[in-house]
């Protein structure tokens, strides 16, 4: 039996516990993610999807429950660099060249100069930015910067990729292009992905499973398998199955209590 990529068991997270302003960010979260799957966390603002991602990344500690990554405690997995992470802002270091940005995680792990340079060039090839290795981040467009951030997240070949609305700041055209690129890259690297988004079509287009979450307190209210197969292209965006699944996710989101609240923060694009 293969080890689950991520296993979240009975997790809850309370911010400011014991104080008047304490917030139940997440309650009773159980989530199992199989290796090779692409799981999107979707829900309105404040449903705790980013918090859940940070618990998996061990950037936050759960108040109760356990988080296992690759069968180990999340803290161990973070020390072992079992995952790569990408955020909404590319977050490249302005003073480093594109290649040096991709090298960053390897440098911190103590790789030799030659090895990390070779790996950085390999990763830049993967995201089709070979000729930009020596450029500086500000010389690149937003989409290109985000591709560098993905190359950086994948640089140490982690089995798991955690992404927090990585395309949220991009325009629609770039965004769709990047979604296609991400699927190609994941196919080539056979990574497992946990992807936070508030765009329904984005979640459906990318994922093998969409996890629907609701706010106050944050919890999982639905899991929808996406039966679009592995090979997806621009034609997928016009397929009947695609729209059917979008409708399914939308209804799952609408079925939540307080639809007026829910409508806010989830994009229909």
Partner 1 sequence: MKELFRGRLSSAVWFVLALAAAAALWELYKLVGPPDGGTVFGWKLLPRANDRAMPHVTDMLARYARPERRGQGGSIALVVLQGAWFTLRLALAGFALGAIVGLGLAVLMARFRVVERGLLPYLVLSQTVPLIALAPLVVSWGGKLHIGGFEWPRWLSAAVLGAFLAFFPVAVGTLKGLTSTPPAALELMASYAASWRQTLFTLRFPSAVPYMMPAFRLAATASVIGVVVAEISTGLAGGIGRLIIEYAREATSDPAKVYTAVFGAAALGLVITGAVALVDLVTMRNRPGEASR
> Which residue shows structure tokens 């991520």?
6
Sign of the four-CA dihedral 214, 36, 71, 160: negative
d(CA 231, CA 165): 23
Using the minimum distance from each CB to partner 1, give the nearer residue, 46 or 105.
Answer: 105
Q: How far is the CB of 9 from partner 1 (least distance, A)?
A: 22
Using the minimum distance from each CB to partner 1, give the nearer residue, 81 or 221.
Answer: 81
Using the minimum distance from each CB to partner 1, give the nearer residue, 91 or 217.
Answer: 91
Q: How far is the CB of 22 from partner 1 (least distance, A)?
A: 22
Using the minimum distance from each CB to partner 1, give the nearer residue, 78 or 177.
Answer: 78
Using the minimum distance from each CB to partner 1, give the nearer residue, 87 or 205.
Answer: 87
DSSP 204-267: HHH-SEEEEEETTTBEEEEEEE--S-S---GGGGG-HHHHHHHHHHHHHHHTSS-HHHHHTT-B
Q: How far is the CB of 165 from partner 1 (least distance, A)?
A: 12
- Contact 105/84 with Cβ under 8 angstroms? yes
Residues that bind partner 1 (CB under 8 A): 57, 59, 78-79, 81, 83, 85, 87, 89, 91, 93-95, 104-105, 107-109, 136, 138
Sign of the four-CA dihedral 215, 221, 223, 226: negative
Q: How far is the CB of 235 from partner 1 (least distance, A)?
A: 36
Q: How far is the CB of 240 from partner 1 (least distance, A)?
A: 39
């Amino acid at each position: 039996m293969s080890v689950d990529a991520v296993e979240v068991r009975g997790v809850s997270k309370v911010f400011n516990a014991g104080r008047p302003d304490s917030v139940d960010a997440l309650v009773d979260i159980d989530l199992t993610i199989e290796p090779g799957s692409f799981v999107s966390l979707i829900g309105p603002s404040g449903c705790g999807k980013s918090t859940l991602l940070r618990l998996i990344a061990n950037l936050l500690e759960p108040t109760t429950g356990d988080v296992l990554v690759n069968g180990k405690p999340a803290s161990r997995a973070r020390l072992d660099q079992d995952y790569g992470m990408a955020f909404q802002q590319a977050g490249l270091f302005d003073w480093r060249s594109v290649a040096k940005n991709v090298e960053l995680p390897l440098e911190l792990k103590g790789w030799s100069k030659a090895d990390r340079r070779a790996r950085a060039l390999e990763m830049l090839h993967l995201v089709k930015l070979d000729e930009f290795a020596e450029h500086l981040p500000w010389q690149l467009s937003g989409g290109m910067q985000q591709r560098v951030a993905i190359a950086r997240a994948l640089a140490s070949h982690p089995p798991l990729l955690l992404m927090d609305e990585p395309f949220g700041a991009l325009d629609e055209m770039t965004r769709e292009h990047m979604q296609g690129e991400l699927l190609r890259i994941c196919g080539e690297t056979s990574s497992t992905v946990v992807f936070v988004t508030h765009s329904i079509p984005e979640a459906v287009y990318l994922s093998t499973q969409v996890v629907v979450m609701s706010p106050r307190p944050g919890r999982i209210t639905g899991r929808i398998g996406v039966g679009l197969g592995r090979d997806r292209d621009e034609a997928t965006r016009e397929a009947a199955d695609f729209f059917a699944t979008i409708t399914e996710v939308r209804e799952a989101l609408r079925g939540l209590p307080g639809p007026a609240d829910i409508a806010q923060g989830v994009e229909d694009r």
